[in-house]
Amino acid sequence: MALTSIKPMLKIAQRDSYAVAAFNPVDYASMKAMVAAAQECDAPVIIQTSAKTIRYYGHEALFSWFKPLAENADVPVALHLDHGKDLDMIKKCIDIGWTSVMIDASDKPFEENLEITKKVVAWADAKGVGVEAEIGEIGGVEEDIVVAEEDAHLADPNEAERFCKAVELGVFAAAIGTAHGYYHGEPDVQFDLIEEINKRTATPMALHGGTGLDKETIARCIALGCAKVNISTNLKHVFIDSFVDHKKENPTDYEPLSYLKAQFQALKALFADKITEFGGAGKGGNMLKEIEG
């Protein structure tokens, strides 16, 4: 059984100074490519479904894809809900078997965000499910969540400390200058803020908006304590481009499976590349042993 909560997963990653890659699947094949890449790299991986994807396919279908893939892997695989805002959807994820969920109440005032998060943590703890919450507000466009530049604001280290002392999270997303989607202009990542927050909380941090950050920036964030790096936009581009490129290169090919194979290989290569870049390669089997005892 390789279905793993992000809680022990990210504690180990943070302790050993690397990050687990988190990808957003758009269909069965992209999810399968995530597990195949993790398996090939001997690395842990986080499969994170967006709320939009859950609304499209339903909880049951997504979980039925995930379960056998994770059970047959010998590396830790987590099924995570990315940016959960709907409490009914979150509760259903926990009940069906997601190993972790994100409650994103970052658009609410601090106290309200904390209260909602506490409620989700109580549900999650009862099932051994890890929770991610967000402090500050990360700008940009993520699926159907749009945070305008003027609303985006950085996390406050005092609030981060209070938040992480009040609830035991598996990981938290702090707004530290990254944005969702591709960047317009240079991202202004606040390394001092990451360092300060990590000094004051014992909780691993998630780096949102990983697509479009250069390798040096990501490596520095990981060295400062980011244990989860989210890649979504990048995947969407490879998903579409690999399909279109196959058509351009093989204009008379109308065999769907050859398109799906080309797409699978392109996605798997992207995932393996990111997993390796974030330092997860070679860590999967040992992590699983450590978690399962």
Residue 210 to residue 140: CA distance in whole angstroms: 12
**132 vs 277 by CB, closer to Zn ion:** 132
Task: Map tokens 């609303």 to a residue.
Answer: 151
SS (H, E, C) 236-264: HHHHHHHHHHHHHHCCCCCCHHHHHHHHH
Instruction: Give the shortest CB-82-to-Zn ion separation in angstroms.
Output: 6
Contact flag: residue 80 with Zn ion (CB under 5 A): no
Instruction: Give the shortest CB-171-to-Zn ion separation in angstroms.
Output: 12
Span from 24-32, 69-77, 154-162, 201-209 in contact with Zn ion (CB under 5 A) = 201-209
Contact assessment for residue 284 and residue 76, using Cβ atoms and an 8 Å cutoff: yes
* Catalytic residue flag (residue 82): yes
Contact assessment for residue 2 and residue 96, using Cβ atoms and an 8 Å cutoff: no
Task: Map tokens 């490596």 to a residue.
Answer: 219
Instruction: Give the shortest CB-28-to-Zn ion separation in angstroms.
Output: 23
Residue nearest to Zn ion (CB): 208
108-111-113-116 Cα dihedral, nearest 10 degrees: -120
Instruction: Give the shortest CB-169-to-Zn ion separation in angstroms.
Output: 15
**230 vs 242 by CB, closer to Zn ion:** 230
Contact flag: residue 85 with Zn ion (CB under 5 A): no
What's the half-sphere exposure (Cβ side, CA atoms, 13 Å) at 48?
Answer: 31
**80 vs 268 by CB, closer to Zn ion:** 80
Strands 205-207 vs 179-180: parallel, antiparallel or unpaired: unpaired
Within 123-162, which residues bind Zn ion (CB under 5 A)?
A: 142
Among 11, 208, 228, 268, binds Zn ion (CB under 5 A): 208
Q: What is the DSSP letter of 126?
A: T
Active-site residue (options: 16, 27, 74, 82)? 82
Which residues are catalytically annotated?
82
Query: Would you tell me which residues interact with Zn ion (CB under 5 A)?
Result: 142, 208
